[in-house]
Amino acid sequence: MNPPLQAQQLQDLLGLTLAPVGIAFQPGRPPGVSRIDAAAPSGCSYWKLAAEGQVFYTEASDHYNCPIGSYTHSIDLPPAQAQELQGMVETMVGLEYIRMEEVPSIPRLEGPFGVAIYAPLTQMPCPPDVVLVRGNARQMMLVTEACRAAGIAPEGGMLGRPTCAMIPEAMRSGRGATSLGCIGNRVYTGLGDEELYVAVPGSALGSVIERLGAIVRANRELESFHRGRMA
């Protein structure tokens, strides 16, 4: 695995504006990596910081500001934050945003949370468990087609709220996970109206990139073919 090369290939083939982000989960502090300076307002805020070039790790307490993200990352919350999570869930149910019976089916990380390492894929200090690719619908179409060609097509449809659930889903299934994003993620990360995500299991990234080159070339040829037919 060569994360810098893989990141460059992804960016070149897709024309990405933001760098792909690697995320890894480990039991304890990784050598040579500094902890985030200050806790962010949401777990997905760390994705944005990594895409902008920062390399860091977080501990459980760095996620307490994000009760929903803490839930998907299997982080045990102190009483005050646990109460806030319950209140948020009840509010979302009251707004008919989710149904209470949906909550147990939201994907969560398996095992206890130690630390999470975030970095642009070019600077990932260890093998990533998940690689997040962010882009427009055309770019994510190509990644999804490459996942299918690599045999790791998503098991179900697109994921919505909460966006951070795609991380444990990709890790659990060993398959790509596509998310349209949620309103919280769009606020905290600046995700554009035309943008969405694909999460690729780190172990499958090489296979996906191998297929991506062929997928991109095929789409170029097919676009010319279809435009010719339309004319």
Convert the pLDDT of each residue in 106-135 to its tens digit: 788 888 899 999 999 999 999 999 999 999
Distance CA(206)–CA(216), nearest Å, equals 16
Sorted by sequence, the CB contacts under 8 Å of residue 172 that are 6+ apart come out as 107, 110
Enumerate the H helices of the chain as residue ranges: 3-14, 45-51, 67-72, 79-94, 137-149, 166-173, 183-189, 205-230
Q: Residue 102: its pLDDT value, please? A: 66
- For residue 201 the two structure tokens come to 């299991």
Do 163 and 185 form a contact (C-beta atoms < 8 A)? yes
- Coil, strand or helix: which one is 162? coil
Distance CA(192)–CA(190), nearest Å, equals 6
Distance CA(101)–CA(81), nearest Å, equals 21
- Coil, strand or helix: which one is 129? coil
Q: Which residues pair with 116 in a beta bridge?
A: 25, 58
Q: Residue 155: its pLDDT value, please? A: 73
Model's pTM, two decimal places? 0.88
Q: Residue 68: its pLDDT value, please? A: 82
Residues in the chain, pLDDT under 70: 1, 81-105, 156-160, 225
Convert the pLDDT of each residue in 122-170 to its tens digit: 999 999 999 999 999 999 999 999 999 999 988 766 666 789 999 999 9
